[in-house]
Structure 1
Amino acid sequence: MRGYVKKYCTGLLFRYFVSYLLIFLVPFVILVGALYHSTVLSQEKQLEASNVNNLRQTDTLISERFSELDKMAEQVKLNPKLTNYMLKHPYYNIESRTELGNIQSNSSFISEMFLYYNTDELFYSHNGTYTKEALVENRFRDKGLTLKALDNNLKLKLPTLTLSPSREGSRGMVQYYVPLFSGGIQNGSAFFLINKQELQKVLNNTTADYEGVAYLVDKENRVVVSSAESKEVFVENGEITPLLRGGSRINIEGMDYTVSSLKMGVEGFRLVTILETEQFMYPLKAAKKLFGIVSVIIFSVGLVMSYIMSLKQYQPIKKIDAAFQKIASKEEPLDDHGEWLSLENRVNNFVQEHQSMNKALDEKQSYVRGYFLTKLLEGKYKTTDILNDKMDELSVEMAGSNYFVMLLGTQDEIAEKDKVKQRTVLLEHFPMEIESARIDAVEMPDRDQLVLVVTDEKVITNHRQYVLSLQRVLNQELYTKTVLDIGECYSELIYLNRSYIEAISAYNAHRESRKEDLFFFKNIIYSAPKFFSIPNALKSKLKQGIAEGDEVVSMETVKTIFSNSELRSMTSNEKKYYYFDTIKAVIDSIDQLEKEDLLSSFQTIVEYDTPDALEKELLELVNQVCQEVNRAKEEKTNKLESDIIIYINDNYRSHDLSLENMALIFNFSISYLSRFVKEQTGVTFSRYVQELRLEEIKRRLVETDDTIKEIVVQTGYYDVSNYTRKFKSIVGVTPGQYRSEYKK
């Protein structure tokens, strides 16, 4: 029986039926109201008591809304994105204003929110920044707000609601000021503009059962807002003072009204209702019989017509619902509120799933491309066949005729702790399309570098001019002056890691002076050969290849050194010095890596018999060193990735846990950390933390006697009531019900 009632009495057909029935029964309701006026209308004291009760309920509702604003101000004070430093910062003020707008959008009770800090005397909102004069003279010129009144309000030590004087017949602006304290000292205020329409909705509930008007008035009896703006007959010059002086009963134009008043919890304000004393008519005994006949006829006609019209209205909705059930990914159960909400849920779920799928595909494609480029730069793909197979496997396209690498830096002088934030901001601009070129940004996990991979379908004839044109666009798009270290340009993608090694070599040669904003690998100075030593460019490329663990580039560089055409014209002593300079370059690289244990064959290398034997020994040594470097890099990367997950598991209860703070700790960009956590856990960072906290809350609900508020707050949440609703939506029961059920 209960299931039957739930199915049919909450169904869409039933709702249509009731709606049309109400429309047809208006004459019937009017007749009932006329005949039974005496039984509906209570005595005057009961009316007044009911009015006062309604006023108390309205006062409670309004006070709760202002308490929400107090909590909002407290959250703003604790939000690191909304400090005056962040709001004024040239890079982060957009993010801070967006955060301010997100907080404001959580409350329909306010039309606008401003933050004011004493240190800079500026007002911040999601729409922009204002001085006091601009706010008063431009923003609220016609709202009656004066500079003196604004200064006085900003000095208030307690949350205060105030009304600015009205102008040109319009009512003043309702403002709510909440002082912000830090260390016992007031450092600013949160300034809210109250939405009068929301206040009016609350006041409408006060007079919902009666004919009349409800007013919210200040301590000077000025009307802040009324439930019915058309009832201006009760208001004189924006005040209702004459009515309040007349006592609880007044007569206006021959009509009797009852006046009720209640002081509110909000200091200096009160609620006033003015209701018609005679609101219902007394029944006419002579019309009782007629009323019965008319009532039956109207009810019967209304019942039949309502069913017919509701059935016609319901049929197309039912067809739409059936269609969505066929294409929905899962069957939606009948909602407690009926078919209409179930249909709405199906439509919303369908749209959300479609959006989520597109977003997931975009994120996956971005992650896969970043992963592929990282491995390509590290030289993991040894042959063209392996590279092509990997591109087919990952569905990555790198169509182009020219490929090269640039290391991106800026000339901005910023603190070390802000470099991660800067790198995160820069990453948001990529990938970037510049004419026929595509630029991908790759953040190398073991380096504090932002690597730009340039792919162009056109043949690059003048590398320097080409990079200069790219730099001009980058400076415009990134809003900063860039510094680029550039490797050589190659026509085959397999050689991109060589360009990366060359870019690092250019960076190492360039970083001491940093006088130029462009530095090419070719710019490395070739000093005049002294005793026929190997060229600086080859030496730098050899050392950097070994440092990166790229055995292909390193071994190719060794072979290039030994195939030098100048060797044929050298004397035996000059060749000996040339070979010993090569040995020294390799040994210096090993020494910088602190891998001296790999020099066990040093004696054999130094006492070589022939150049071919020396080349073979050096190639074997270089290969061995690169393998050791790669092993060490892999261990370091694995440890760092393990440390990230361990850090989350150890700190998920902290209120300060966020991707932003972790980015500063581990020196990674926020986007990289977000992708990494999702790769390791299978879910997003916020979802992973939420699951950890949920399991901890469930455990403590069962195993401890701590209050629900203590458990929720100590597990990382501030808003207990909001999390209670979230807990129920996830688990199906409230925390209290969960404790009662499982603690048994």
Structure 2
Amino acid sequence: MKWNHYKSKLLLRYTVSYLSIFLVPLIFLTVIIYQNAVDNLRSEIEQKNVNQLVQAKTVIDGRMKELQDIASRIAYDEQLTPYRVQHPYFSREAIAALDKYKATNAIISELFLYIRGDDNIYSTQGMEHLDVFTERYKFHNWKPEALYRDLNETQHPTMRPAESVTQSALVQKSLLSFMVPITPNKPYPHGTVLYFIDESSLTDLIDSVLGDFQGMTVIFDEQGRILAANAHQETIDSGDASSLSRLEPGIHSIRAGSQRHSVVSVRSSANGWTYVTSMPSDQFFSRIFHIQTFIVIVFSVVVAFGTLIAVLLARRQYFPISDLMEFVKSKKRGAAAPQAPASNELEWIRETLRDYSLRIDMQEPYARNQCLYMLLKNGTGNDLPLELMHTLGIRLEHSYYFAVHLGWNGTPGPKDGSERSAMIEPFSDAGLPELDAHVYGIELPHPDRLALIVGFNAEQDAQAPVRIRGIVDELRRIAGERYDSLPSIGVGTGYTDPADLNQSYVEATSAFENRVSSEAGSVVYFDDLSHFHDGGEAFWLPKEVLLKLAQSLKQGNLEVAAHMVSTALTNLRAGVAPMPLLRCICFDLLNTMLKTASELGIRDVVQVIPQVTTFESLEELEEKLFVLAANICEQVERKLETEERFLLDRIMAYIEENYADYSLSLESISEKYAVSPSYFSRSFKEKAGINFSKYIWQKRLDEVMHQLKSTSDPLKDIIARVGYLDPPNFIRKFKKETGLTPGQFRKMYGNQESAAALAADEE
């Protein structure tokens, strides 16, 4: 094999290294080590116990810090605000959110959220009254009155010592209670996060670090109280516990009962806890005598077996590299591998990783487009970390932002005749320095639509509309130079916060869809639509509110829809219209939602009309309209997902039937099913797990392998039947993929009589 030379060379280097590092120094130092073995081992055992206890302290401190961090995240979680937790509609989401937080830390036995002044407490199991809670968890020392007081008055994170708890009158557990006020570091917390922690969870953490330690482990708080203990058949009375808690950090020898004990004490600077291990001194140092005997035996045989060990270690060190090399080779099916191996396997792997890096760079535009599309749909939410956007070259550092929707009557063609996939290039990441603006282009699922995110700077709000129109004129000029036809343009309102980009996109789409003229190059500003009135009085709902409400429902954007409903009703509350007229205006808002639902084919909302139309106040109507908007948006999202899955299923079926067509390509399928190539590429990879070109190559390769096994047809005919027009290139790729030429493959797996003829064809 080609790799044998490099394999033996790499193994030789490892063997020589281990002989030099391990065997020679070990033999040379044998005499010196033996003279000082007993003293050194005694010191090492003592220090080992200190280090292990420090490590256990660090682990537990880290877990306690995690619990406080969880409480901080709960304090700022929008799903766990007092309003949403106590709201009958959103409380189920809050319970689910608590369950997710509980799952992030293994030592949590149960997690509770208490809103101060409330009669209920919330956990991952649901909501229950405090009286039910104290009945279900009966503490030995923590009385219900003290529990209520602590939940409402605790100002700092507080850990209660472990005590016996009777749970549901059946099970008794030893639990620690950890209370963290939220919001943390605020003078007036609005709630308390309560954790129940099994005592064994803390002691098991220490035991897992200490290994085979058989003594007693105790955790004291800053007041000297025992938080948790694991006696391991040792006993501790109150006097011994008090003396242990007062020990300074380090190694101590004390008398407890009739025996001397070796005690290791470590104090945490994070919370003031003291961690103590104690075991009889005889047991503590008995291992030294076993180690003395072991050293003599090991040193007597190390010379004879040193070389063998070095070779075994070298081979063991090489195996992960060999496995990694085979793994990389197996993952390079259908991808271009380095033409010749480097000096050894490590160099080959480095070249391969460099090749993977190039392929990742090729996928970056698709990820960037998806990230920008999420900005348009959701604004700058938690789903888009700032680090990810910076990695993809997206920087939202301007003072104003607005969205633009471009569309053509037909699929646009670039003037220079380049590929359709280059359509977005003029706006993909364009700077407009003379206008102090920057443009990010987004390819939408429709092949004749584009969206733009534009950021610009303006010193005053009054300048923003003028700047927007100047920027749009420049974008229109660029489109005229780049495309063979001008697009129609819808322009949203400018906002100072990137989080409002979803609203600007809804406005831009509304402006585009409500344009009066279908003439190419027309520009419609949402501000112009919103300033147009139908001759009504000032207290009627603004047209911009109804337009944005309808468009947000069509896009399934509940956030913008809810904002529009709230804005409309807020304006009505500030008006002076009489109540009968207000009810008529409210019905105008309701009719807009029902009309939009009807246009979307959502018929079941008719059933809720009687419930929505009966309201006694604007607050009641607002709540009902929120529920109706959520219902419509949920069905729109579900409908879009169903349509996308149905379309992908149709495309997959079409590919299965036509993969042997040499003209089959990403662009041809995108044109046939009226979707943009980048959108189809992303969706296909999510469904199939691999990209389109690799999937087609694999289908054709599998069919060629099948025909090589089952037929005696000439290779050229087989290759042509699967849609490949370049036999020499196919043979090279086949060998790179399988390690065999087609003739060798047929000889090994297929028709023996035709293998010789196929080998001649390859030559």
> Which TM-score applies when normalising by structure 2?
0.48
| More RCO (CA 8 Å, sep 6+) | 1
What TM-score do you get using the length of structure 1 for normalisation? 0.49
Over alpha carbons, which structure has the higher Rg?
1
